[in-house]
Structures are given as structure tokens and as C-alpha cells.
Amino acid sequence: MEPLMWLIVLAVFLVIEAITVGLTTIWFAGGALVAAIASGAGAGILVQWILFLVISLVLLIFTRPLAVRYMNKGVSKTNVNSLIGEKAVVIQKINNLEQTGQVRINDIEWMARTSSDEVTIPEQTVVTIEAVQGVKLIVKEEKEGK
């Protein structure tokens, strides 16, 4: 392929990336750029395609996790996910087997459970919210000294 064809492919991937803004095609744009350079240097079509695929995969596998972490750094959790990691107070003993348990956080009462059926948590205990499952908070007891 001519370098111009690879540059057109590169432009298409960049336009798609600009429209989606989700780190979906930028990796393939990098592969197309390397293939365009190889084409300009006189590499054969097979070498161009191999470079395109290999570079695209390497970029996707090794740089995507870093880029996603960097892009999501300033994104704050919203709604119920913002509760994860917060502390709450048990207002009704938490016992999974008896299907009881409530906590209060930010003046709102939530149904609460532990991640293990063997663990019970008494009233007035401070807990940390680990997860949200439906309308229940999954909590663990806050240890002394933390």
C-alpha cells in the first residue's frame, strides 16, 4: 500500500477517536502511522500489515491500562458508588442469616449485610462500606486504631 493510503487509514481512526473520545481506535492509528512510515521506506505489503497489527496490539495491551487510569484520575464517583470506602454506623444488628441489619450514613438509613454469613456486627459499631449490591450495602467492621 502507498503511504498515502495508510495516512488515510490513520486519519479515519483519529476521526473515530475524536468522535467517541473513549480510547477505542487510537491504538490502531499508531499502527497505521508505523505502517505508513514502513511503506514510505519501501517495505512490502506483508511487512506493512504485520507492523500495523503488531504495533496496534502492543499499544492496546501495554498502554491502554495506563491511559485509562490517567484519564479517569479526576473522575469522582457519583450516586451510590460514592459511598464505597465511607464509614457508617450500625443502627440495627447485622446478621446475614437472620436477614437483619441497617446502617446510617449521611442521615439516610440503608439495609446492610456483611460479605460473610459467619460475621455479625452489633449496633453502634462503625463500619466501612465495601460494596453495593442492589439496595444493600456490604460492610465490614472498622477495627480499633484505624
Q: What is the CATH number of the domain that holds 91?
A: 2.40.50.140
Domain count, the chain: 2
Contact 23, 68 (CB under 8 A): yes
Reply yes or no on whether the pLDDT at 16 is more than 80.
yes
What local confidence, expressed as pLDDT, does residue 137 receive? Answer: 92
What is the residue range of 109's domain?
Answer: 80-141
Question: Is residue 128 domain-resident?
Answer: yes
Q: Treating both helix axes as pointing N-terminal to C-terminal, what angle do 26-40 and 45-71 enclose, rounded to 10 degrees?
A: 150
What local confidence, expressed as pLDDT, does residue 75 receive? Answer: 61
**Distance (Å, whole) CA 90 – CA 101:** 8
Question: Is residue 146 domain-resident?
Answer: no
**Distance (Å, whole) CA 1 – CA 52:** 12
What local confidence, expressed as pLDDT, does residue 74 receive? Answer: 63
Angle at 94 between CA 124 and CA 106, to 5 degrees: 55
Reply yes or no on whether the pLDDT at 39 is more than 60.
yes
Which of 101, 96, 134 has its CA nearest to residue 115?
96
Widest Cα–Cα separation across the chain? 75
**Distance (Å, whole) CA 22 – CA 132:** 26
- Indicate the pTM of the whole model: 0.50
Of 24, 55, 72, which residue is a domain's last? 72
What local confidence, expressed as pLDDT, does residue 76 receive? Answer: 61
Residues 41-85: tens digit of each pLDDT? 999 999 999 999 999 999 888 887 787 777 766 666 667 777 888
Of 72, 102, 130, which residue is a domain's last? 72
Q: Verify that 56 and 90 share a domain, yes or no.
A: no
Q: Verify that 64 and 103 share a domain, yes or no.
A: no
Residues 88-144: tens digit of each pLDDT? 999 999 999 999 999 999 888 999 999 999 999 999 999 999 998 888 999 999 876
What local confidence, expressed as pLDDT, does residue 46 receive? Answer: 96
Q: What are phi and psi of 80, to 5 degrees?
A: -70, -30
Cα 146 to its chain centre, rounded Å, is: 28
